Chain A
Amino acid sequence: MKKLLGLCLSAILALTAVFGATACSTTSANDYSEYTDDGRLILTIWAPDQYANATIRSRFQAWLDDFNETDKIKELGVYLEFSPFTQLPTTLSTACISGPHMMPDIVIWDRFATPSNTTYLMPIDDLLEEDNIDTSVFLDEAYDELTVNGSQYGLPLDADPWGIYVNMDIVNTYNDQNSASAIDVDSLDTWSELIDAADKLTIRDGSNVTRSGLNTTSADGQFFSFVYTGTGELIDTDENSSAYGDTVMSTDSADIFTDGESMRVYDTLAFFKELYALNLCNTGHGGTDAFGNGLLAMTYGSIYFPQELSSYSIKNYKMLPYPARDLTYINVNTEQGAHGESLVASETDSTGMQNGQVGGMLGGYGLAIPQPVMENMRTDEWRSHVEKAWEVIKLWLLDDEMNESYFTANEVITCRSDLWNNAFYTENTGVIGDILPYLENYKMRPSVAGYEVFESSIVRADIQMLKEGSLTVLATYEKIRDDGNALLRQAQGRS
């Protein structure tokens, strides 16, 4: 009897689980569409947390309201609604396993995160081919950032260059009081000049920094930009190379100071150590608040930063590209220890690496269409949403008038490089005008699986230890290389 009872209970349990799962998986994949009073299909757009910022959100919403009222969108028979999300990839993955009724129709997608999230982004290769889309109008690197293993997962929306923001009121006040050693912000082109200007703009009370010259608390996040403007790379992205997907950093200790790629990474680490040693920044002056309130003269930010600053009193600021490397820490003062540990930089680049360029790291978003994870949830109704979403994306990005309306309303730079000659860009007197001449020197972060966590968990963590003095430059270099390669190989499924 006990056995029979146990069997019955097990059967009930199994049936409940099966029916529960089935119910979850099928009922909601159909009949979920909603319409406006005038019969337009409502499509939802999800955006990352940056769009939750009050200014960015209100500008986007205002543009969306206008977009919804255009004849072109009305002809499509759709109405767009939007919501920003923190942890968008996580939320999206949950939505895509739940079904179309929980999913957005379009997602404003951080291109950087594409390689790790292809499961729930729909490849659009067929759509591109069917509509014979000329993808060459997009900035190549931005377009490629949405390409994984030969499949395209979206179209690039904006070009988001990062740069150094300078509080011009602080600089002007300094220049008025120190005409002999004035800072020329327009020629802040090299690492040496950046260090010099930062030191001049820092005000110290003993060892306490009361006004920070340069934000060094979040400099670790800018490592790629400084390596790149030092003409270096972090990851080998040459698919024909035997070391594809690894760091470019030499594993042979003898080669570190002779191999060009390795030296550039080493030099950047040594440069960071110098920045930290100069005590240029109060630990509490790392955020937008400090820059907005005049406690920090120079900081890092994206092209969206002015929108974050709009709630502060600061109005007179300028955006600069990352400066070029003009010095090397290799082969100097070796009698005092390892290369670069003495923190005395050589004015002469003995290894002939003076091709530094001003530019930096280019981020940005794309427009992608999410897909349900389960094949059986990809219903006809969902496909009809996809058709409409694709039409919206084409209208948004490929219609010149619509593209311009979006970027002028939101004051950011389009990835349509063929539109950069428009008056909005060429006559821009804000940060877009500041940075546009250098845009061709900007570069995306490496698009390989595992790069995000390599940067956040390995590079930034090890540079923090360098900053705290618990690692030497050489030890930091070796740790980034060894831990980084292990992590990248694991993420890329290589042994």
Chain B
Amino acid sequence: MQEAQSVSVKKKRKGLTLKAQRNLIGYLFVLPALLIFCIFVLIPLIMSVYLSFFESDMFFLSMEYVGFDNFAQVFQDSLYWTSILNILCYTLMAVPMNIILSMILALLVNSDRRGVKAYRFLFYLPSVTSTVAASTVWLWMMNTSYGLLNDIFALFGLPGGTWLTHSSTALVSVTLVTVWQGVGANMIIFVAALQNMPTQVYEAAKLDGAGPLTIFFRITFPLIAPTMYFILTMTLIGAFQLYDQIYVLTSGGPANATLTPVYLIWQNSFGTNAGRQAGYAAAQAFVLFLIIMIVNLLIRRLDKKVNG
């Protein structure tokens, strides 16, 4: 009996090493996330690239292979390039504004003073508010006749803004809303980075007579550069994917001034222009993916140059 047991133990050891057992447990933990990632990200991504070579509806029912025709069409589509131009303008406004403001707020709330936590909570609150709900409130606030913002302007004898109703102000107005909503999340990340700073470096700088500005530019800024790079990358990707605020605030108007690539892709896939446009929308999405990737590679290169 004992002999039989020892044989079975030996066999077991032969079958699965301790390292493999540990790996197996690891894989099992990762499995649910991997499944979700594959079903909702990887498979749709591959399908979308595949779809971009076909003229098709969303249900793959009547697919006709068109080669690179959809991509050729993307490069001739003035609406698509209007949307790309819009998103570049938006990115140039929103990303620096978001990072600078979140950094300033982070510096302001990075202390142990009384009441600071309440401010952190207040600044972070818009980030946890539903985008649709917040945008609907802003829609009312920016109403040119009844809106709160123009009422405030009127109190000071200033003329009201056109906000979302004019093509020259609509994108700026949308930017204000998205920055208001996004700044809190980045502030929290900056605060986390600031709280991990080595205090002795600051003490040494102070002993050497460095002022607050010198400390910020010579110590704080270089030390939070990796965090800055992370925030820049994430904010940039988020900016290029702007959709929900546009859906609620402007529907891409007026005069396509706030039309964004993702909104246009949605329109082609599910919206007013749906039909046999799913393949074309997939091609538009793929081109957008390439643009985002190129921009990120450029930033990465820049980061390497600056920070080594």
User: Residues of A with Cβ closer than 8 Å to B?
Assistant: 1-2, 5, 9, 12-13, 16-17, 20, 89-90, 93, 97, 113, 115-119, 217, 282-285, 290, 373-374, 449-450, 452-453, 456-458, 460-462, 464-465, 468, 470, 482-483, 486-487, 490-491, 493
Q: Which residues of A contact B166 (CB under 8 A)?
A: 468
Contact status B27-A486, CB under 8 Å: no
> Could you tell me the distance in whole angstroms from the C-beta of B268 to the nearest C-beta in chain A?
8
Known: A17-B38, A284-B144, A462-B255. A493 touches B168 (CB 8 A): no
Q: Which residues of A contact B252 (CB under 8 A)?
A: 457
> Could you tell me the distance in whole angstroms from the C-beta of B273 to the nearest C-beta in chain A?
4
> Could you tell me the distance in whole angstroms from the C-beta of A161 to the nearest C-beta in chain B?
22
Query: How many Å lie between the Cα of A97 and that of B274 in the bound state?
Result: 15
Q: Is the interface of A mostly helix, strand, loop or mixed?
A: helix
Contact status B145-A491, CB under 8 Å: no
Give which listed residue, B79, B145, B272, contacts A113 with CB less than 8 A. B272
Contact status B34-A13, CB under 8 Å: yes
Known: A16-B35, A457-B252, A491-B275. A119 touches B165 (CB 8 A): no
> Could you tell me the distance in whole angstroms from the C-beta of B45 to the nearest C-beta in chain A?
14
Q: Which 9 pairs of residues, A with B, have the shortest CB-CB distance?
A: A284-B145, A116-B275, A464-B255, A453-B273, A461-B256, A373-B59, A461-B255, A284-B144, A465-B255
Give which listed residue, B55, B270, B275, contacts A449 with CB less than 8 A. B275
Query: How many Å lie between the Cα of A68 and that of B270 in the bound state?
Result: 34
Contact status A487-B79, CB under 8 Å: yes
Contact status B275-A117, CB under 8 Å: yes
* A-contact 0/1 string along B245-283, CB 8 Å cutoff: 000000011111001000000010011111111001000
Surface stretch bound by A, among B70-78, B91-99, B205-213: B70-78
6 contacts between A and B (CB under 8 A): A20-B39, A119-B59, A457-B256, A457-B267, A464-B254, A490-B73
Contact status B61-A119, CB under 8 Å: yes
Contact status A9-B61, CB under 8 Å: no
Contact status A486-B275, CB under 8 Å: no
Give which listed residue, A5, A89, A93, A119, contacts B27 with CB less than 8 A. A5
Which chain B residue lies CB-closest to A374? B59
Which chain A residue lies CB-closest to B70? A490
> Could you tell me the distance in whole angstroms from the C-beta of B81 to the nearest C-beta in chain A?
11
Interface contacts beyond A453-B272, A453-B273: sample of 8 additional A-B pairs, CB < 8 Å, sorted by A: A90-B270, A116-B274, A119-B61, A119-B275, A283-B145, A284-B143, A373-B59, A483-B78
Q: CB of B43 within 8 A of chain A? A: yes
Q: CB of B125 within 8 A of chain A? A: no
Q: CB of B241 within 8 A of chain A? A: no
**Residues in B1-59 with C-beta less than 8 Å from chain A:** 16-17, 20, 23-24, 27, 31, 34-35, 38-39, 43, 55, 57-59
> Could you tell me the distance in whole angstroms from the C-beta of B74 to the nearest C-beta in chain A?
10
Query: How many Å lie between the Cα of A9 and that of B20 in the bound state?
Result: 14
Query: How many Å lie between the Cα of A93 and that of B61 in the bound state?
Result: 13
